[in-house]
Amino acid sequence: MAGTAHAAAGALLSALVLAPGGARAQQAALTMAVGAPVTSLDPHYHQLSPNNAAASMIFDRLVNTDHQSRMVPGLATEWRVVEPTVWEFKLRPGVRFHNGQEFTADDVAFTIARVPNVPNSPSSFAIYTRPIREVQVVDPLTIRFRTEMPYPLMPMDMSNLFILDRQTHEGAATEDFNGGRAAVGTGPFRVVSHRNGDRIEFERNDAYWGDRPAFARVNYRMITNDAARTAALLAGDVEFIDQVPTSDLAKLRGDQRVALSEATGMRIIFLGLDHMRTDASPFVTDNNGQPLPRNPLKDVRVRRALSLAIDRHAIVDRVMEGAATPSGQYLPAGIYSHVPGLEAPRADPDAARRLLAEAGYPQGFRIQLNGPNDRYINDSRIIQAVGQMWTRIGVRTAVEAQPWPTFIGRAGRQEFSAFLVGWGSNPEGSHPLRNLSATWDRERGWGASNRGRYSNPELDRMIEQALSELDDAKREKILQDAQRLAMEDVAIIPLHIQTNIWAMRRNLAHTARADELTRAQDVRPAAAATSR
Amino acid sequence: MSSTTLGAAPVPAVPPKIETPFHRFVAEFAASPIAVGALVVFAIIALVAILAPWIAPQNPYDLAVLDIMDGRLEPGSVGGTGITHWLGTDDQGRDMLSGIMYGLRISLTVGAGSALIACLVGASLGMLAAYAGGRTDSAIMRLVDLQLSFPAILAALMILAFLGKGILNVVIAIVVVEWAYYARTVRGSALVERRREYIEAAQCLALPTHRVIFRHLLPNCLPPLIVVGTMQIARAIALEATLSFLGLGVPITEPSLGLLIANGYEYMLSGKYWISFYPGIALLVTIVSINLVGDQLRDVLNPRLKK
């Protein structure tokens, strides 16, 4: 390890002394540390970012996603709708699994059949296979999926499923993957060894069909303690870390030995409000502490006032130390169905006070803002800052932060009047809309995380319309209109979108990903980066 | 030991000089300049805590006067509101000096309050155990053993997990984990005192039990109780700070010293030392001064330690 660090330092030094770009750091191995443990190498066991990151080093999907979460050809080279309810995927020829088995349409059929049948899955991938009524293998390199209704999200669903081999994985259990025997895919790396919750060792798959990774060997360690992970990087024990704590950002930015890479993520941090009650809301009172007869949060003017009171730029600047983007909608810019021109509202306390007065609360009222203290980056600091800003427009705010399990249980039972939560989105407007702002409906699975119980029939109708529109451009338009409607009605109060931050030794470069995945194929020597 | 250690006793048998027990106590206490210094420091801290709402530059608990844009200012900077922050500000823009003053209020209130309640509960039970003896004694003392065998912080964490956050619950938790110390101390000295002649005399006069306990037995058990009480105030302050540091004590918008330290410690590596450092110093000075006073009290009030 020390030898690697020395070699790296030497390469860096010579690169500085000699002509820039002249000396290329020749490094065969990479040691990286991630903050969240990989819980399994079975790619269909648990929908969790760390697992998906490891899986996308070993396996491929029919549709891969690039660093901005755009869909790009993976094991499928093209896909199209052949009938309104039939999708056809053309598969990549000449692809082989790590053990030499050939990849064919039959392996895709096997994968689709396996996904819903993984025992004890804590968070199943079956939602991505459920719309498929019938799988038809047309020829070894063509496969068709028949659905009941027109289903535009099929390619996106396929970008979540890692493809296995029928010959290798028939009957393979999750334990076989964790032991390494069954961890055989078509991806850029093969597994050498795996110690659960501690480290995975990879070596490069030299027969990979796509871009060849820069490193022949990768040591993928899991260091969950933030301070320990940062310290390991500074000490040179590891060369690359993810989930850099914002309180360490200032120090790392000033450190000559370290470079940072960042990408706007897909996780929106927002405030939910009690839309359910028309009478008294549990944590809203008048200025003397007496319950109000009506829930002021039902009035859109009050909701707008609360949103306008918030200085999102101050929160991003002072609380998040720049590691976030202020937001006025569900999705970040550059993502499909992001609404152009819908900016984060500028703080305007005077306008907010006027709106409150118009709504009949010239003296404001009292409210309690709840939130977690261990789930999102700086969560309890954010709600205190919002508390300051609301108090300044006359809405005297008490702030209460709780551990996540307690908090989210109570939020799910509609116990709060106002609360902070986050949502990691898929790159498609229907995903946050359907989960966060559609009318709650257990049967349909809509509004599953709509904890304020916002309900707007017009919005529901638009989401429904979008979900059966196969034309991407038309669907995008409907989704943008739907999001605009939800934001005008202040269904939620968006605050900011978190930035994903990685840190590495200065001799490395990294393509930062919007989807939070930390993968070795995105890391390369810095000299190679400048030549690109 | 004689019955003349504290003022509650009757006239001393042979007055050697014109000196009340209180005078002697003061003179013996003042023999240690360190203890006197500690007492002065503690008096200043207590005064600052009491006067905080009038002398603090800012009300750190009023969200309306805090500005996030003033967050993490260095000591000596002038914030957007025109206040000079002599000890800097924390991440929410709270003036650290004001935060420490108000934090001391919480620390001392919780410390003194919980120590007093724990003392009342513990002393009553200890006295009862000593006077009643037999099964009552065994039952109470086994409970004390059980309580003392539990790490204080663990017991407090469990109680707060059950009761929920809040300053009142912190006091309850501290009382629950600390009453046993008082009970054991009082029982010990009450057992000794109970066999003395003046108690027998009182009992022979057929005085009611409560009168014997409260007028005769208790006053003579007070000296060790005062010593233990002083030490337990310091312990209670430290325990409150620990619980708040762990996020189980006070609300996040009304930080005590422990929570101020917790707020700052994540910024330590980034060179913003003052958010944790100054509340830590305040806590340290408070606890040390109380302990020094307590040490001297023990020396003065415990005749066995007299040379």
**Which has the higher per-residue pLDDT, B223 or A73?**
A73
Interface residue A401 vs chain B (CB under 8 A) = yes
* Residue A442 CB neighbours (<10 A): 8
How many residues comprise chain B? Answer: 307
Question: By a Cβ cutoff of 8 Å, what residues of chain B touch chain A?
Answer: 62-64, 66-69, 71-72, 91-93, 247, 251-253, 266-267, 269-271
Q: In chain A, what percentage of residues exceed pLDDT 70? A: 94
Q: Which residues contact A207 (CB under 8 A, 6 or more apart)?
A: A96
Q: CB contact, 8 Å: A373 with chain B?
A: yes
- Chain A residues in contact with B72 by the CB 8 A cut-off are 318
Judged by CB atoms closer than 8 Å, whether chains meet at B69 and A318 is answered as yes
Mean of pLDDT over chain A: 91
pLDDT of residue A286: 94
A72 Cα to chain B: minimum distance (Å): 40
Task: Say what the pLDDT of residue A11 is.
Answer: 45
pLDDT digits (tens, 9 = 90+) for A127-158: 889 889 999 999 999 999 999 999 999 999 99
Confidence category of residue A531, pLDDT binned at 50, 70, 90:
very low
Across the interface, whether the CB atoms of A381 and B253 are under 8 A apart is answered no
Distances (CA, A) of A390 to A386, A397, A421: 6, 6, 18
Chain A 166-205, residues with CB within 8 Å of chain B CB atoms: none
B33-55 and B21-30 helices, crossing angle to 10°? 90
User: DSSP E strands: which ranges in chain B?
Assistant: 77-78, 84-85
Report chain A's terminal Cα–Cα distance, integer Å. 28
Set out the domains of chain A in order of their start, with CATH numbers. 45-170 (3.90.76.10), 266-498 (3.10.105.10)
A/B interface, count of CB pairs below 8 Å: 66
Chain B within 8 Å of A321 (Cβ-Cβ)? no
Q: CA A376, A377, A381, A384 torsion: positive or negative?
A: negative
pLDDT above 80: residue B270 = no
**pLDDT value, residue A177:** 95
Query: Closest to B71 (Cβ–Cβ): which among A251, A318, A392?
Result: A318
Question: Which residues, including other chains, have CB under 8 Å from residue A226's CB and lie 6 or more apart?
Answer: A35, A243, A245, A248
Q: How confident is the model at residue A21 (pLDDT cuts 50, 70, 90)?
A: very low
A142/chain B closest Cα distance in angstroms:
54
pLDDT of residue B17: 58
The share of chain A scoring above pLDDT 90, in percent, equals 78
Give the pLDDT confidence score for residue A12 in this predicted structure.
45
Is B269 within 8 Å of A247 when comparing Cβ atoms? yes
Interface contact A373-B247, CB threshold 8 A: yes
Residue A485 phi/psi, 5-degree rounding, is -60, -45
Q: End-to-end CA distance of chain B: give it in Å, rounded.
A: 14
Say if residues A423 and A270 touch (Cβ distance below 8 Å): yes
pLDDT at position A5 is 46
Interval A405-429: pLDDT, tens: 889 889 999 999 999 999 988 889 9
Closest CA of chain B from A319, distance in Å: 7
Q: Which of A386, A351, A356 is nearest to A370 (CA)?
A: A386
Structure tokens at B122: 């513990």
Task: Tell me the residues of chain A between 251 and 290 that have a Cβ less than 8 Å away from chain B.
Answer: 251
Measure CB to CB from residue A385 to each of B68, B247, B267 and give the nearest one: B68
| pLDDT for residue B15 | 53
Residues of A in contact with B64 (CB under 8 A): 388, 391-392, 396
User: What was the pLDDT predicted at A268?
Assistant: 96
**Per-residue pLDDT, A27:** 65
> Mean pLDDT, to the nearest integer, of B145-174?
90
Would you say how long chain A is, in residues? 532
Q: Smallest CA–CA separation between B233 and chain A, in Å?
A: 28
With cut-offs at 50, 70 and 90, classify the pLDDT of residue B305.
low
Encoded amino acid at B165, one letter? K
Among the partner residues A251, A391, A401, nearest to B252 by beta-carbon distance: A401
Amino acid identity at A90: K
Reported as a pLDDT band with limits 50, 70 and 90, residue A9 is very low
pLDDT digits over B91-130, tens only? 999 999 999 999 999 999 999 999 999 999 999 999 999 9
Judging contacts by C-beta atoms under 8 Å, the chain B residues touching residue A315 are 68
Q: Is the pLDDT of residue A195 over 90?
A: yes
Q: What is the mean pLDDT of residues A432-454?
A: 90
Q: Would you state the pLDDT for residue A18?
A: 40
The pLDDT value given to residue A475: 95
A418-424 vs A366-372, strand pairing mode: parallel
B66 contacts in chain A (CB < 8 Å): 388
Q: What is the pTM of this model?
A: 0.82
Q: Over the stretch B45-90, which tens digit does the pLDDT of each residue have?
A: 999 999 999 999 999 999 989 999 898 899 999 988 888 999 999 9
Q: Is A150 on the interface with B (CB under 8 A)?
A: no
- Quote the longest CA-to-CA distance of chain B: 75
B111: helix, strand or coil? helix
Binning pLDDT at 50, 70 and 90, where does residue B303 land? low
Output the pLDDT for position A402.
Answer: 86
Does residue A65 carry a pLDDT above 60? yes
CA dist., res. A193 & res. A179, Å (int): 8
Interface contact A399, partner B, CB < 8 A: yes
What confidence tier does A49 reach under pLDDT thresholds 50, 70, 90?
A: confident
- How confident is the model at residue B143, as a pLDDT? 93
CA distances from A504 to A56, A320, B74, B116, B247 (A): 21, 20, 29, 55, 32
Chain B contact present for A380, CB below 8 A:
yes
Q: Is A427 on the interface with B (CB under 8 A)?
A: no
What is the DSSP code string of B12-47? -SS--SS--HHHHHHHHHHT-HHHHHHHHHHHHHHH
Predicted confidence (pLDDT) per residue in B10-46, tens digit: 555 555 556 788 888 888 899 999 999 999 999 999 9
Candidate from B62, B66, B68 with C-beta closest to A315: B68
Mutate to test the interface with B, among A233, A247, A374, A407 (most CBs of B within 10 A): A247
Helices and strands in chain A: count of H runs, count of E runs: 17, 20
- The H or E element spanning position B225 is helix B218-245
Q: What is the pLDDT of residues A332-341, one digit of tens each?
A: 998 999 999 9
Nearest residue to A247 via CA among A352, A437, A381: A381
